[in-house]
Structure 1
Amino acid sequence: VTVGCARCHNHKFDPVSIQDYYSMTAVFQDIEFGSRHPEFSEDHPLRKRGKELWQRIQTQRDKLRDAGGWEENWGAYRELHFPAVTTTAVRIRFKTPNLGLDELEVLGPHGLNRNLADAREGTEVTGFPEEGTDGRNPIERINDGEYGTMAWRTKLDAKKEERPWVEFQFQGPQTVNRLRLSNNREYFYDTDYLNKKPYLPKYQFDMDIMKEDETWQSWAGTWAVNSKLLKNNAERKQTIANIQGLIDQLSEEGPQPSFVGRFVEPVVTHVLLRGSPESPHDEVMPAAPEIFDGDLGLDSSASGPERRREFAKWLTSPEHPLTARVMVNRVWHHVFGSGIVPTTSDFGRAGAPPTHPELLEWLADEFVSPADADNPAWSVKSLLRMLVMSDAFRQSSLPNEEGLKRDAGSALLWRFPPRRVEAEVIRDSILMASGTLDLQIGGRSYRIHNEKATYAQWEVINNHGKETWRRMLYQERMRRVDDQIFTAFDFPDCGQVRAKRPVSTTPLQALNLMNSDFVLEQSDLIAERALRESNDELELAVDRCFELLLDRSSTEAERTACMNIARDGELALVCRALINSNELAFLP
């Protein structure tokens, strides 16, 4: 059932209260969205490639360690390396009056990504100016462990001698060998579609360490590693260039951060009146909707994993009134084109009733009941096997007069319901027919749109060139971008989550399949392939076009009609006509 309506008020149609909604949010209170490094298994290709490149980076770094420090540009952040030293405090003195830093991390050789300056490590931060710009960007943001727009910002008078500085006091002695600075790390990772990437200015600074007698000693700095050391050791320049090249290679070929769910400590959950975060009201416990006996026996002290584990047990119980029914209905929808309950995402009062209620109940029971070792409980594979081997799935889609009179929509399955294939299938079938479809698995997606300025509109600049001839599965699609060809075939907007795609019939579909640059180019390629594989015998080439596009030979009448066009040198036009046929776009 839908519960989204209960975010602001009790559900208008179903017995789901606003308390139910926020109880369910409490279950997932330890999850928020943000950049997270992927967790791959050891044998994953990206993990293996990343490990190989890291080893090469470390080999190059080893050449520099004994000769002072160096700086690396990782795009999202800069990292200053210097000889390891043990200290109880560090101080960074900047040489520019204007700064913007979302995080300044101090790292050591033990626990390579452990930020010793993080406030959660007990580290205390002081500095100047502590309140930041106009008191709105305090220095505490520089070590709160959060990347993004919430940064420490300074704007001092350049004519004065005052310059920003930061001091970190550790809980005890720490061995450090790196500083890492960023000003909006998440934005960098999440906006590779911009023509002007966010970047961190090359801030100049010096770093001091506290000695045992509590005096400060200058230890490292950007000028020293970027100018002095390079001047005195020219061979270092090539080594640093090698490291930078490997870093760039790693960002392309290794694991990359993704904007996905990440784990945080759960907080107490309150009902938000009218959905407003500024109006917290009663505390609620992690639970599922009361109407479904959703009490999980938890309170606000429960850990995140415990909340999600208990919720999963409740959700996957064989006695759960919805899970099995919804799942078998969703699988039925994908097999037959429409669910037994047509409103696949709404089994509530606003949804449609099932066309075959007894069948739905039987399928749900079979789904959760293990038959044998080869057909365990909750096996989607077993369910799919049963559906595609059924008489209902294997019957013809040919109509008859009596059936059309009583059930024109084929909801009662007196024939296999006619189904138009998805936009991706139509496009990939055309590429397959021309022999140009790139079947490579994995790798980077391809783009059809431009790289743009931050607030500019998207523009489609290439949706038919050779570099786009991969399966449409690999097309990078941005929200509200019309590809001007297959969007007309109900390709979903990527900003929406939908239970099923709408199916429409519009003039634009025929126009795009007849006149688009993609179809014109592919029709020429199909015609060339048909002639080539038929030794330039025109009649055989016409028949080959039918085989490539429709997977059958032409009838005598079809062959005669097409030959009249092909003799005028328009075999590609024959291909365009076949591409526009219902036989290509609908399941037989």
Structure 2
Amino acid sequence: MSDYQSIYELRKLSSHPMKLAIVLFSILTLTLTGEEKKAGPEWWSLQPIKKIIPPELDKHPLALNEVDAFIQKKLKENKLTSSKLASPRTQIRRLYFDLIGLPPSPEEITKFEKNPSNEAYKKTVDSLLKSKHYGERWGRHWLDIARFGESDGFGRNNPRNNLWPFRDWVITALNDDMPYDEFVRMQIAGDILKPGKDGTAAVAFLAAGLHNTVVGGSEFMKKTARQDELEEITGTVGQTFFGLTVTCARCHDHKYDPISQKEYYPLTSALKGVFHGERDVQDSEFVEEISALQKEINALQERLGAIDSAARGKAIKKRKHEPQAIQNEGPLPISRWEFDQNLNDSIGKMHGTISGAAKLENGALVLNGRDSFVMTPSLDKDIQEKTLEAWVQLNDLSQKGSGVIGIQSTDGQIFDSIVFGEKSPQTWMAGSDTLKRSQGNDGPKETEAQSKPIHVAITYSKDGTITRYRKGQVYGDSYKTKSQSFEKGKSQILFGMRHGTKAEMRGILSGRILRAQFYDRALNPAEIAASAGTESNFISDDEMLAMMSDNEKKLRNDINGQIKSITENIKNLESRKKTKIYSVAARSNPGTTYVLNRGHALQPREKVNPGSVSAVTGPNANFGLAADAADSERRKKLAEWITHSNNPLFTRVIANRIWHHHFGIGLVKTPNDLGFNGGMPSHPELLDWLATELKTNGYSLKHLHRLMVNSRAYRQSSIPNLKTLESDSDNRLVWRKSPTRIDAESLRDSMLKVSGKLNTAMGGPGFRDVTFRSLNGTTYYTPFDKEDDSLNRRTIYRFSPRGQRSTILDAFDCPDPSTTAPSRSITTTPIQALALLNNAFVLRMAEGFAKRLREDNQDKIEEQVIRSYELAYGRKPDPEEIRLGLKLSEDHGLQALCRVLFNSNEFVVID
């Protein structure tokens, strides 16, 4: 009883009701959830996967494969027997709905009924797994888990017009049977591992959830909202990929699983660089074309380089024999910062002042990419012509718009700056206010600045000519614009930020500046080269051309013309063929993470490094990264940890998830939780065998599908045995196939197919059966239905905002995308029957169904009735059904019969 050892001691607290309540609650909690009522590190799912040898098939004559051997063994141990095989019609309908989410045609059913052999069945399985509709069906399952919703949710609920590439990527990846470990890695770090459209679309998994765009003005509200968002992302990753409810440890140690609060925050640290946003990404279909053009440029540049190199050699040789040879000692700046012991200007009086977390370390100014920069006092002279120069090393080449050194008005509104990666990734540019003086993103991609310091400089001539330099050499093309003057007393030098007076994320650098210099004139190329330490290699264009013959000059001009033409072609392709994708708008350096006291956003405690859950045996939960590591390193390490071949949860979770969708309930009841609350698996050896099968067969999900749907357990009848039902009412031992109601999307798609209206177009932006109305910054959506072929696509291609969703889908338990939905609720309500009779979509489908029947069978009403049963149920009607169908059609029209057929158990339930 903790510190209170007697009733007398408890009685002493009676004058403090709150304290007494806390103590009594603690006692009650220990009673209900004591140590024996929670999982420890030895919990089954955290242990290594055992090497399982399946039971011998010879000992289980009913078994069709190894899956059956496990099932039959368990049934035998419990003195139970399995059911007989379902009818061929039931088997084929079950298979079609499970694998592609659509009913088979009457002809496909008849074909299988004539030859229901195991070989014919397996061929059907293979055919369906190759169908493009497979990815649409199983993509829907994945989108449920990914909480895929095409609006932000919360109060504003604004639309996400460009999240659809994620949906398309999922469908394509599943159709291609992308190895599951790669499928997962792409959704954690695809933009890093495979930059481009596919990688950016895949990683939208992390940003597919709710996003609060109105978080309040106080620091507490902003930081709390960010912690809530990180909890949502972290929780989805944990439940989806390794089946643990890690977010229960945000405020305290997990009550049921061996996850401490100190392990929750390293996991959030690994995902701290994830923010919601849009990216412009090159369409993958044009990447190869652009790559081929770039190879042409490279070949031409090699030819050009050979011509220039020969001429340069002649010029250097000539220069050495001239008595007036140039001896460059380097130009003298008006200000120089060495950053060795302080921020002082060693020449002038422009001494720097630190802001935020900027610091001096090992002879460099170190900036963290978030809130660190340095600014100087006001300049003591007017500046128009100038040169900015620095030696800089970057922490991350993916950062965007980071300022190195610049000159700005003291209010931060007008500026010229050396900026990295703003208009074009991994390139240096001349940054300026509203990009007025910013042109030229044609320099080569930076590849060295992360591994070593790089010299960069920009000169600004009086006539407005701006020239960029890298390592003492001209970088890209010079260009001319209107020059900007900076007034004495109202201008200053800025380091580590593009512009501004506060750390407002206006291009803050993540890296180190080792030295910087400022000149009140535009240096010439020889001076830049001299300052960079490369003056002996610099030869002006005039010197070089003087060493060339007329033929060489002509060839050089021709090559430059070809390069310019191809470069313009590339620019046109890049500008015209880009896709906007709602995805992860990553911050290169997301900063340090701290354990929060009871989860309070303003009460940070000890610092933590990116990592994961140590109780999971196999992969090392310590990622070996610094607390302020770059986002790219964090997410790569997390992806590696999750998909590690020795992570026992990784393959167990997905094997159980697939079983859940084929059999209606998982081997573990809770697909998203293999912790204590998920309980024990019904068939632990089978689960481990399936997990091993996945890994040893190239992580092929289709391999698992084949194992499951080819089994007798899957193909058996759903007819209950009353005696067995008493022993195992939940069918945990799989003695029969549990009947299931088709999900809302399959119901809608089935009506479209039966009516002959299904539009099978794949991919692209979704169809919109909602109207948009914006009021005071909030978007409202109102569903509608009308005759339009674009609205007849499969439901997975529906634009799906959060809130005000489709009434027919809601009636049949389509989940709210605000949270992850590993399994569907199945309700039976009067609303469903009413929806199938009166919903506008159902009425339109019934009308289309009737029209199809009339067109196919002319005026032969009896044949129309017979055909209606064949299309709706996959069977012929019996005489009584024909009689009733004829009477209903004659009294109320063929459309009424079609509505009745839709509104029946046989249409919505798969036995």
Q: Give the alignment's TM-score, normalised by structure 1.
A: 0.66
Q: Which of residues 268, 278, 289 in structure 1 aligns to 2:602?
A: 278
Alpha-carbon distance in 1 for matches of 2:611, 2:584: 24
Note if 1:327 corresponds to 2:654: yes
Structure 2 CA distance for partners of 1:391 and 1:168, relative to 1, 3 Å: same
Task: Looking at secondary structure, tell me which structure has more helix per residue.
Answer: 2
Q: Which of residues 608, 613, 623 in structure 2 aligns to 1:296?
A: 623
- Equivalence for 1:265: 589
Read off the aligned partner of 2:684 and give its amino acid letter: P
Question: 1:382-403: CA deviations, max 9, x gaps?
Answer: 1121111111111122223223
Q: Which of residues 230, 234, 250 in structure 2 aligns to 1:7?
A: 250
Alpha-carbon distance in 2 for matches of 1:491, 1:210: 62
Question: 1:216-240: CA deviations, max 9, x gaps?
Answer: xxxxxxxxxxxxxxxxxxxxxxxxx
Structure 2 CA distance for partners of 1:352 and 1:465, relative to 1, 3 Å: farther
Q: What's the secondary structure of 1:291's corresponding residue?
A: coil
User: Post-superposition shift, 1:276?
Assistant: 3.1
User: Post-superposition shift, 1:168?
Assistant: 8.4
Note if 1:255 corresponds to 2:588: no
Q: What's the secondary structure of 1:487's corresponding residue?
A: helix
Question: 1:77-115: CA deviations, max 9, x gaps?
Answer: xxxxxxxxx97599xxxxxxxxxxxxxxxxxxxxxx998
Structure 2 CA distance for partners of 1:323 and 1:542, relative to 1, 3 Å: same
Alpha-carbon distance in 2 for matches of 1:413, 1:166: 67
Question: 1:327-377: CA deviations, max 9, x gaps?
Answer: 210111122221111111111122233222232222223333x2xxxx33x
- Tell whether the 8 Å contact from 1:32 to 1:264 is kept in structure 2 after alignment: no
Structure 2 CA distance for partners of 1:331 and 1:310, relative to 1, 3 Å: same
- Equivalence for 1:181: none
Read off the aligned partner of 2:616 and give its amino acid letter: F
Counterparts of 1:132-531 in structure 2 under 5 Å? Answer: 172-173=458-459, 208-209=483-484, 254-292=578-616, 294-300=621-627, 302-368=629-695, 370=696, 375-376=697-698, 378-454=699-775, 455-456=777-778, 458-466=780-788, 467-531=790-854
Note if 1:22 corresponds to 2:22: no
Q: Which of residues 117, 123, 127 in structure 1 aligns to 2:406?
A: 123
Q: What's the secondary structure of 1:450's corresponding residue?
A: strand
Structure 2 CA distance for partners of 1:405 and 1:146, relative to 1, 3 Å: farther
Alpha-carbon distance in 2 for matches of 1:385, 1:165: 58
Deviates more, 1:466-475 or 1:570-579: 466-475
Alpha-carbon distance in 2 for matches of 1:174, 1:503: 69
**Count of matched residue pairs:** 438
Structure 1 runs of 4+ off > 6 angstroms? 143-147, 164-170, 174-178, 211-215
Alpha-carbon distance in 2 for matches of 1:548, 1:484: 25
User: Post-superposition shift, 1:27?
Assistant: 2.1
- Tell whether the 8 Å contact from 2:403 to 2:420 is kept in structure 1 after alignment: yes
Structure 2 CA distance for partners of 1:279 and 1:177, relative to 1, 3 Å: farther
User: Post-superposition shift, 1:213?
Assistant: 8.2
Note if 1:35 corresponds to 2:278: yes
RMSD: 3.9
Alpha-carbon distance in 2 for matches of 1:577, 1:268: 62
- Equivalence for 1:221: none
Alpha-carbon distance in 2 for matches of 1:214, 1:387: 75
Q: What's the secondary structure of 2:745's corresponding residue?
A: helix
Alpha-carbon distance in 1 for matches of 2:751, 2:385: 66
User: Post-superposition shift, 1:555?
Assistant: 1.6
Structure 2 CA distance for partners of 1:87 and 1:476, relative to 1, 3 Å: farther
Alpha-carbon distance in 2 for matches of 1:422, 1:348: 27
- Equivalence for 2:452: none
Q: What's the secondary structure of 2:690's corresponding residue?
A: helix
Deviates more, 1:521-530 or 1:345-354: 345-354
- Tell whether the 8 Å contact from 2:386 to 2:520 is kept in structure 1 after alignment: no
Structure 2 CA distance for partners of 1:430 and 1:177, relative to 1, 3 Å: farther
User: Post-superposition shift, 1:464?
Assistant: 4.1
- Tell whether the 8 Å contact from 1:126 to 1:166 is kept in structure 2 after alignment: no
Question: 1:508-555: CA deviations, max 9, x gaps?
Answer: 111111111111121111111101101210000001111222222212
Question: 1:425-454: CA deviations, max 9, x gaps?
Answer: 100111111111111112321112222215
User: Post-superposition shift, 1:566?
Assistant: 1.2
- Tell whether the 8 Å contact from 1:336 to 1:393 is kept in structure 2 after alignment: yes
Question: 1:257-276: CA deviations, max 9, x gaps?
Answer: 42435352242221122323
Read off the aligned partner of 2:670 and give its amino acid letter: T
Read off the aligned partner of 1:314 and give its amino acid letter: W
Deviates more, 1:491-500 or 1:311-320: 311-320
Alpha-carbon distance in 2 for matches of 1:543, 1:4: 55
Structure 2 CA distance for partners of 1:8 and 1:126, relative to 1, 3 Å: farther
Larger radius of gyration between Structure 1 and Structure 2? 2
Alpha-carbon distance in 2 for matches of 1:494, 1:432: 26
Structure 2 CA distance for partners of 1:582 and 1:144, relative to 1, 3 Å: farther
Alpha-carbon distance in 1 for matches of 2:287, 2:832: 41
Structure 2 stretches lacking a partner, 5+ long: 1-243, 294-383, 389-397, 424-432, 439-455, 467-480, 487-518, 523-571
Alpha-carbon distance in 1 for matches of 2:876, 2:283: 47
- Tell whether the 8 Å contact from 2:385 to 2:521 is kept in structure 1 after alignment: no
Alpha-carbon distance in 2 for matches of 1:167, 1:537: 75
Q: Which of residues 884, 892, 900 in structure 2 aligns to 1:577?
A: 900
Structure 2 CA distance for partners of 1:315 and 1:256, relative to 1, 3 Å: closer
Q: What's the secondary structure of 2:281's corresponding residue?
A: coil
- Tell whether the 8 Å contact from 2:253 to 2:260 is kept in structure 1 after alignment: yes
- Tell whether the 8 Å contact from 1:4 to 1:21 is kept in structure 2 after alignment: yes
Read off the aligned partner of 2:742 and give its amino acid letter: V
Read off the aligned partner of 1:8 and give its amino acid letter: C
- Equivalence for 2:166: none
Alpha-carbon distance in 1 for matches of 2:852, 2:722: 41
User: Post-superposition shift, 1:472?
Assistant: 0.8
Read off the aligned partner of 1:123 and give its amino acid letter: G
User: Post-superposition shift, 1:498?
Assistant: 1.9
Q: Give the alignment's TM-score, normalised by structure 2.
A: 0.44
Alpha-carbon distance in 2 for matches of 1:430, 1:87: 72
Q: Which of residues 551, 567, 578 in structure 1 aligns to 2:890?
A: 567
Question: 1:444-483: CA deviations, max 9, x gaps?
Answer: 2111222221544624242344241111111111112231
Read off the aligned partner of 1:18 and give its amino acid letter: Q
Read off the aligned partner of 1:324 and give its amino acid letter: T
